[in-house]
A and B are shown apart, each in its own frame.
Chain A
Amino acid sequence: MNFDARKYVIIVFIITVGIIYIVRLFFMQVIDDSWTLRAQEIAEKRKQIVPPRGAIFDRNGVKVVSNRTYYNLMFIEDEVKNLDTAAFAQVLGWSKDSIAIRFKEIIKEQGTYRDKNDNYKTKSNYQSDRPYAFIKEMTLEEIATIAPHLDKFPGFYEEITSMRSYTYPNGANIFGYLSEVNEEEINEDHFYRRSDNIGRAGIERFYEKELRGQKGIRYIVTSARNNELKPYMDGIYDTIAKQGPNFKLGIDILLQEYGEKLMNGKRGCIVAIEPSTGEILALVSSPTYDPNLMVGNRNIAKNYPKLILDKDMPLFPRPLAAEYPPGSIFKLLQSLIGLQEGVITPNSGFPCNKSMVGCHNHPSAGNLSDAIKFSCNPYYYAVTRRILQQGKKTSVFADAEIGLNKWYQYMMSFGLGQKFDADATGLRPGLIPNSAYYDKWYGHLRWAFSTIRSISIGQGEVKLTPLQMANIACIIANKGWYYTPHFVKSIGQKGSLLQFRIKHRSMIDSKHFDPIIEGMRRVVYVNGGTGGKAKINNEEKIIVCGKTGTVQNPQGEDHAVFTCFAPMDKPKIAIAVFIENAGFGGTWAAPTASLMIEKYLTRKVKDKEKEKRILEASFKK
């Protein structure tokens, strides 16, 4: 018998196995990705590098918000060996018991989950092979006393973290603050990991996506004992963390600082805007707080409850969110609408007839500019009646409906009754009533001018935010247009957002502004004007055009308001000052505005007496 053919059995067997193995390897290595994922799970650690947030500069290049290095004392339980609690407590300056308490607290902070694979038992998210912060956000001085001893406590190490630092204790309501992300935010945006910070208010919140920069990821090969060995594949997949771009604001931090100083002891706001650009120069909300109080979770835990419970509401951004009746500054707008509608001329005169509404004692205004100078209430009743009741319908009610809706359109074109598309959070729209609004109150065709006449002088239903009041001054300074007020001039190499480069035009032709501006000049510079205290150093070097307002307050003392711009010929700054319970606008609000203008335009204030008077005033009860 010849067995030579049997060699083929063996050859076929060997080759078959070889082919099967090669096919199997092709599937495992080339086709199926799950083994690669499994290998990553086993041997790699993704380490996120959180970059410092973008720094923020004021309009003059002063760094106003920067980053400072803080230190977390981290630990990994599995690597902690024979912890000498007494010695450790001594190094930290803690009591011995508080060490154990802190460990328990950390485990508790991680929360729990229900294990699907183990009868839905409640289990802690805490994992003994993961790093946790034993003490968060220590300053260099604090860590310096601990760091030299750390080698005696294996498993503990320091980790660098970056937090905000504010050069000036001002602008808290502009910048906002940061705090740790919550579970919902982590789920919503995969950028965040537990214990990352997120902007909570102001610019920090509005520009969160830009300011936070780009996280870097390092892939690290780890051993079975979870030691970090080396960068994965020499780091070719690593990405570098990128700090957020530098922000340049329209804010003048020295003006902001001065404004906050002036408003000390008062409730209210100052809003200053550059009319030609819409850039907010200062936005004072009083009372305010030092933004450094809200840096880091330790500070927030300590200070936030105090701030939120303060009855003067320092966390409330009044200039953006407080809605006040505008008072007499509203007369500027009524004048403009009257002229545009052709129901009055610059030479229209109305008697100061106090039968319907009170007025102070002054000669009747024979023209529009004087009416503004005197801030004559009956005059504006007459003007507003002409705007609302143009006689287009025989029914006085139907006529008022048409008139009011026309008037509403004008008001909207001034940016009122709506939220600005500004780079701030918490903005409020104010309120401009239209026919639908009054129909709800009185019923359709159940109201006419006489029903709603208090809107003529900026009382009644009308409400504006201080930002809108300042923007009115901008529109007048620009003779008819404005840019949406905004904080940020530029982000990195890019300019401001597109929405801040679109000119909004009011419905008023620019020719109608001259008598109004003249009236505002007279308010300050002509005898009998209500805002004489807005003169800068009692001279006419810088002409201030303004309008006083006194907002009736049924709950207490009237609020003082003043809106103005300067200089008259080439406006550089428009301001609204609103001081709660300060009474007549010309007494307190006007001089405050003039000090701000002087500070901004001349960089110093000469009239120390005026300044002292404002600084010392207090209207808080």
Chain B
Amino acid sequence: MRQGEKLTTNLDWPLLITYFLFLIMGMATVYSTSLDPDHPNLFDYSQKYGKQVVWLGVSLFLGLMVFLIDSTIYRKFAVPIYISTLVLLVIVLFMPPINGARAWLQIGGFGIQPAEFAKTGTALLLARYISSLNIKQQNLNSVLVANAIMFVPMILILLQPDAGTFVVFTSFLFVMYREGLTYDPLVLKLVNMIPGVKFKQTWVGTHFIPIMFAIVFLCIVTLLLSNNIITFNFLPGVEIPGFFGVILSLVVFCLIAFLFLRFISTKRERRRISTVIIIAFVLSASIASSVNYLFQGLKKHQKDRIELFLGLREDPNGEDYNRNRAMAAVGSGGLAGKGYTNASVATIESNHVPESETDFIFCPFAEEWGFIGTFILIGMYMFMFLRIIMIAERQRSRFNRVYAYSVVMILFYHLAVNIGMNIGFAPVIGIPLPFFSYGGSSMMSFSMLMFILLKLDSQRSHVLQ
């Protein structure tokens, strides 16, 4: 810290205030959903809200510590921090399982989830590695190292197993994409193994990450729709078979993309754009067809499992039962909600929605505050994400920028999956809603992520890296 500089100099207040608003809203929701009328004191340590208050205190204390330390430490100590989180991830695998997963490390009376902290460790090391790369001279080695940083903790987490956090780790792919990390060396290596082929660069390798995501997305949509018949309320009598609907959407999507790109492109580029769009369409259509064909060819029990996972089938006692109840809680909120502490479906006491204070905390919030509440909540998250991207883009240090993108993508993933499973858009994989869900590990790890970002940002002018 430079002489005479205050702790709050260059602090990004909008982000910090949003963070505090989330803490207050989250605390209020935890209190409401787990309220025991016999112990209404917020600070009653025998209750979940009492414990959450303690976690909040600890998180803010850690945040203050982060602020007192010079930000260069994170760059310097990225490797030891990363390795220690890996060690914790290994140790936790030898712990007795809780609810079928070896995710908890008991320290004293507290349980800690190393996976939550692994996100911070991975973000720091990835930032350090990418910032040290010369992006213009990437080789096979750089692709492999960057992916190893991401995949090693992912595999350890999958062993627990913790599918939710595993999925969240794929958010780092977006960060790599933003930084221009390319899979081209890997793709070239494979493609050039074919005799007679000698590419210098492939388009697929450069845009490997978004292409992968597009393919996964396309597959899921195809599976969701292929067995359905699409009808429209405003067009009675019109019935479109699901698969035809997928192809039709692709055609429409491509046409819109073509017109849009034509509008913004120069004359010279138009030919190329047409070719790319036609190739993209043919590829997508064939991928969708093969997925559809493969799915129809599956045995019944395999089909069932996929349909269950996608939420196409009711599983009366399993996860779909939980999702159905969660959706009932959310949907019954109406426009203005049932009022604070008036949730009837999503409370711990009624227990219709399990885990309504942790993974399903969006339920009591949506039930109590209605659409007005959920609109504001998602709006606030959107604001926070765009603010972090803005912060990321104003960094002169690539380390800082990579780290900031890691933060925003981790938070976004949590939001998308967590709320997605409350509204029937995502399978039920338990991951917490940032700053909301009850639980010490997630609260501390999200706070650490946030405070490190704020600290790095506040000292953005100090270092040129």
Q: Which residues of A contact B (CB under 8 A)?
A: 1, 3-4, 6-7, 9-11, 13-15, 17-18, 20-22, 24-26, 28-30, 32, 34-36, 38-44, 221-225, 229, 232-234
In the complex, are the beta carbons of A3 and B178 less than 8 A apart?
Answer: yes
Complex Cα–Cα for A11 and B392 (A): 12
Task: Determine whether B332 belongs to the interface, using a CB cutoff of 8 Å to chain A.
Answer: yes
Complex Cα–Cα for A26 and B379 (A): 13
Q: How far is the CB of A44 from chain B (nearest CB, A)?
A: 6
| A–B Cβ pairs within 8 angstroms, 14 of them | A1-B180, A7-B389, A10-B389, A18-B378, A21-B425, A29-B331, A34-B331, A35-B327, A35-B328, A35-B330, A39-B344, A42-B345, A222-B350, A223-B352
Task: Determine whether B97 belongs to the interface, using a CB cutoff of 8 Å to chain A.
Answer: no
Complex Cα–Cα for A232 and B419 (A): 26
Assuming the contacts A10-B174, A35-B331, asked whether A43 and B382 have C-beta atoms less than 8 A apart, the reply is no
Chain B residues near A39 (CB-CB < 8 A): 328-329, 331-332, 344-345, 367
In the complex, are the beta carbons of B352 and A224 less than 8 A apart?
Answer: yes
**CB-nearest residue of chain A relative to B325?**
A42
**CB-nearest residue of chain B relative to A1?**
B180
Beyond the given A29-B366, A30-B371, A229-B349, please list 12 additional residue pairs across the A-B interface where CB-CB is below 8 A.
Answer: A14-B382, A14-B389, A15-B386, A18-B378, A18-B379, A29-B334, A29-B371, A29-B374, A30-B335, A35-B328, A39-B331, A223-B350
Closest 8 CB pairs of A and B: A35-B331, A39-B332, A3-B180, A38-B328, A29-B371, A221-B344, A39-B328, A28-B331
Q: Once A and B bind, how many residue pairs between them come within 8 Å at the CB atom? A: 132
Pick the residue among B327, B344, B385 that contacts A43 (CB under 8 A): B344
Chain A residues near B405 (CB-CB < 8 A): 10
Complex Cα–Cα for A42 and B329 (A): 9
Complex Cα–Cα for A430 and B258 (A): 92
Assuming the contacts A22-B378, A24-B425, A39-B328, asked whether A29 and B333 have C-beta atoms less than 8 A apart, the reply is yes
Task: Determine whether B10 belongs to the interface, using a CB cutoff of 8 Å to chain A.
Answer: no
In the complex, are the beta carbons of A43 and B352 less than 8 A apart?
Answer: yes
Complex Cα–Cα for A192 and B135 (A): 78
Chain B residues near A18 (CB-CB < 8 A): 378-379, 381-382
In the complex, are the beta carbons of A224 and B351 less than 8 A apart?
Answer: yes
In the complex, are the beta carbons of B382 and A11 less than 8 A apart?
Answer: no
Q: Which residues of B contact A (CB under 8 A)?
A: 135-136, 174, 177-180, 210, 324-325, 327-335, 338-339, 342, 344-345, 349-352, 366-367, 370-371, 374-375, 378-379, 381-382, 385-386, 389, 392-393, 405, 408-409, 412, 416, 419-420, 423, 425
In the complex, are the beta carbons of A36 and B331 less than 8 A apart?
Answer: yes
**CB-nearest residue of chain A relative to B350?**
A223
In the complex, are the beta carbons of B330 and A28 less than 8 A apart?
Answer: yes
In the complex, are the beta carbons of B324 and A38 less than 8 A apart?
Answer: yes
Chain A residues near B210 (CB-CB < 8 A): 9
In the complex, are the beta carbons of B370 and A29 less than 8 A apart?
Answer: yes
In the complex, are the beta carbons of A44 and B344 less than 8 A apart?
Answer: yes
Chain A residues near B338 (CB-CB < 8 A): 233
Chain A residues near B392 (CB-CB < 8 A): 7
**CB-nearest residue of chain A relative to B401?**
A7
Complex Cα–Cα for A61 and B125 (A): 93
In the complex, are the beta carbons of B378 and A25 less than 8 A apart?
Answer: yes
Chain B residues near A4 (CB-CB < 8 A): 393
Pick the residue among B371, B409, B416 that contacts A26 (CB under 8 A): B371
Chain A residues near B352 (CB-CB < 8 A): 42-43, 223-224
In the complex, are the beta carbons of A24 and B423 less than 8 A apart?
Answer: yes
In the complex, are the beta carbons of A25 and B328 less than 8 A apart?
Answer: no
Q: How far is the CB of A328 from chain B (nearest CB, A)?
A: 75
Complex Cα–Cα for A233 and B342 (A): 6
In the complex, are the beta carbons of A36 and B345 less than 8 A apart?
Answer: no
Q: How far is the CB of B205 from chain A (nearest CB, A)?
A: 13
In the complex, are the beta carbons of B330 and A29 less than 8 A apart?
Answer: yes
Assuming the contacts A29-B330, A43-B350, asked whether A22 and B178 have C-beta atoms less than 8 A apart, the reply is no
Complex Cα–Cα for A32 and B333 (A): 11
Q: How far is the CB of B167 from chain A (nearest CB, A)?
A: 14
**CB-nearest residue of chain B relative to A39?**
B332
**CB-nearest residue of chain A relative to B177?**
A6
Chain A residues near B412 (CB-CB < 8 A): 14, 17
Assuming the contacts A25-B375, A225-B351, A233-B342, asked whether A40 and B174 have C-beta atoms less than 8 A apart, the reply is no
**CB-nearest residue of chain B relative to A32?**
B331
Chain B residues near A35 (CB-CB < 8 A): 327-328, 330-332
Complex Cα–Cα for A24 and B416 (A): 13
In the complex, are the beta carbons of A21 and B423 less than 8 A apart?
Answer: yes
Complex Cα–Cα for A29 and B336 (A): 9
**CB-nearest residue of chain A relative to B339?**
A233
Complex Cα–Cα for A3 and B177 (A): 9
Chain A residues near B351 (CB-CB < 8 A): 223-225
Chain A residues near B375 (CB-CB < 8 A): 22, 25-26
Complex Cα–Cα for A234 and B340 (A): 11
In the complex, are the beta carbons of B370 and A232 less than 8 A apart?
Answer: no
Q: How far is the CB of A576 from chain B (nearest CB, A)?
A: 63
Q: How far is the CB of A560 from chain B (nearest CB, A)?
A: 71
Chain B residues near A42 (CB-CB < 8 A): 325, 328, 345, 352
Chain A residues near B367 (CB-CB < 8 A): 39
**CB-nearest residue of chain A relative to B367?**
A39
In the complex, are the beta carbons of A7 and B378 less than 8 A apart?
Answer: no
Complex Cα–Cα for A16 and B177 (A): 18
In the complex, are the beta carbons of B178 and A10 less than 8 A apart?
Answer: yes
Complex Cα–Cα for A69 and B2 (A): 84
Chain B residues near A22 (CB-CB < 8 A): 374-375, 378-379
Q: How far is the CB of A139 from chain B (nearest CB, A)?
A: 37
Complex Cα–Cα for A6 and B401 (A): 13
